[in-house]
Structure 1
Amino acid sequence: MIKVTIRGVRLEDLDRVAEIEAVCFPAAEAAPRKSFKERITTFPEYFLVAETDDLIGLINGCATNSPVIYDELFHNTSLHIPAGENLAVFGLDVIPAYRKQGIAAQLMHHFIQIAKNTGRKRVILTCKHELVHYYESFGYRNNGISGSTHGGSQWFDMTLVL
């Protein structure tokens, strides 16, 4: 297994973070560089990266009182509620050459630990049908089809009660 370091994001990671997102998500779903810059400056404590010699993955999100992710959360960092009861996962990305090596799981476990350490009640996310089982392996519950239409796709609401 490859040695990976999980750490907090830094502003100088911005270009590589945007590159990773562009590789991991279709253009209609990928967050643009501008959004990542806003996320890094607004809630860096909920933005982790995985690195070897270079960045190879990331997980990021914000705090909210909403029980589900709604589309505006992805685009408007002013909706971040620092004392929110839930942490929302916006994206979990690992570049293809490093997948199936446990890196996404390490990122997710670190993110869940941050949620616990900061007293959150839940971690919430949306995912496509083919990933429901993956997130259930972390203890997330499938709440059915999401109201989110982000990127024109169908999503499922997932909740991990802490």
Structure 2
Amino acid sequence: MQNINIKTHIKIIQASPADLDAVTAVEAVCFPAAEAAGRQSFAHRLAAFPESFFLAVHNGQIIGFINGCVTNETTIRDEMYEDSSLHDPKGAYQSIFGLDVLPEYRNCGIAALLMEHMIGDARAKGRRGLILTCKDRLIHYYEKFGYKNMGVSASVHGGAVWYDMLLEFEDQKS
């Protein structure tokens, strides 16, 4: 995809259960099978926390998304990926389970748009910050948004080595 300022043609919208098949398909392209969330997991997420599930849409097509539950924990536990009952709508931290962008739309700023939207939404809702896990090659990317590397995560999701990342809003610490 050529970067002809594609960002001006992207809409960020809240996901709904009707988007289940599309987000499942995007995830299957973006993550290895061992790490990808499945259709049932997305169905539970869309039902439990649609307010924390945003889509990047270009010409009516879902080209990426960001999602995660809200929690009072400062790290993501593996159980959170599959157990939507761990979502606490009044929690202090917005987690990020996945930031997906189709390969042909990468390096155009779409992931940054999604991340900035999620950060802004979390701030507007009075959260203390956001949490995520990432592989070592992405630590630098997330640090650009203000995340701090908290070290190797206890997560063994998909058999990979993950790093806990924490972004805290200075003005919302208690």
Asked if residue 5 in structure 1 is aligned to residue 34 in structure 2, the reply is: no
Question: How far apart in 1 are the matches of 2:37 and 2:113?
Answer: 22
1:37-52 equivalent positions in 2, closer than 5 A = 37-52=43-58
Q: Alignment partner of 2:69: what SS?
A: strand
1:65 corresponding residue in structure 2 = 72
Superposed displacement of residue 10, structure 1: 1.6
Q: Deviations over 1:35-60 (max 9, x none)?
A: 10110111000000001121000000
Question: How far apart in 2 are the matches of 1:62 and 1:75?
Answer: 11
Superposed displacement of residue 142, structure 1: 0.3
Question: How far apart in 1 are the matches of 2:97 and 2:71?
Answer: 12
Asked if residue 14 in structure 1 is aligned to residue 35 in structure 2, the reply is: no
Question: How far apart in 2 are the matches of 1:122 and 1:139?
Answer: 10
1:103 corresponding residue in structure 2 = 110
Give the alignment's TM-score, normalised by structure 1: 0.99
Q: Alignment partner of 1:88: what SS?
A: strand
Asked if residue 156 in structure 1 is aligned to residue 157 in structure 2, the reply is: no
Listed as ranges, the gaps of 5+ residues in structure 2 are 170-174
Q: How high is the sequence identity, in percent, across the aligned residues?
A: 52
Q: Deviations over 1:1-21 (max 9, x none)?
A: 111000000211110100000
Superposed displacement of residue 90, structure 1: 0.2
RMSD: 0.5
Amino acid at match of 1:155: W
Q: Alignment partner of 1:7: what SS?
A: strand
Question: How far apart in 1 are the matches of 2:77 and 2:48?
Answer: 18
Q: Alignment partner of 2:145: what SS?
A: coil
Amino acid at match of 1:67: T
Question: How far apart in 1 are the matches of 2:17 and 2:87?
Answer: 19
Q: Alignment partner of 1:130: what SS?
A: helix
Question: How far apart in 2 are the matches of 1:156 and 1:73?
Answer: 16
Superposed displacement of residue 87, structure 1: 0.6
Question: How far apart in 1 are the matches of 2:41 and 2:139?
Answer: 26
Listed as ranges, the gaps of 5+ residues in structure 1 are none
Question: How far apart in 2 are the matches of 1:114 and 1:4?
Answer: 17
Amino acid at match of 2:35: E
Amino acid at match of 2:68: G
Structure label with greater radius of gyration: 2
Flag as ranges the 4+ runs of structure 1 deviating above 3 A. Answer: none
Aligned residues between the structures: 162
